[in-house]
Amino acid sequence: MTRLSIRIDLGPDHRVGPGKVRLLEAIAEHGSISAAGRALGMSYRRAWTLVEALNAGFGRPVVETQAGGRAGGGARLSSFGAGLVVDYRAIERAAERAAAPFLARLSDPAGDPPEDHGPQELVQPSDTVEDERVRKGQNAAGDH
């Protein structure tokens, strides 16, 4: 099955992808990092490490914890964390819609072959926003 997977690189060692988002959804569902980890087949240590990385990477709580162990501790998504999940899933849906015709062609070996794109149509690694501005006659500030 051909599918699209989205990973958002936010900086060095700071990324959000399907695994972290699934963990956040499981924390919201189970109210506990430990229970979320178990539900996803990962150790508490691994789940906690991912939560710490998210909190540190964003510089604010994505997951808020409450001490208490069996007597009432737990975890929940902060409002920022809940928004992160919503935004990630929206990006994922938009990308899936945009990619659907291309993925369908790539996943059907008996179907039409992908279009033959000449090299002039491909984005070159050296293409940058600045290169595009120069081609359009704009200066670095975006003025005409």
pLDDT of 105: 84
Asked if the model's pLDDT at residue 86 lies above 50, the reply is yes
Taking only Cα atoms into account, the Rg of the chain, rounded to an integer number of angstroms, comes to 21
- Residue 143's pLDDT band (cuts 50, 70, 90): very low
Top-level class of domain 8-107: mainly alpha
CA-CA distance, 31 to 54, in Å (whole number)?
17
Q: Assess whether pLDDT exceeds 90 at residue 108.
A: no
Per-residue pLDDT tens digits for 12-29 = 989 999 999 999 999 999
Give the alpha-carbon dihedral of 42, 76, 85, 30, to 10 degrees.
50
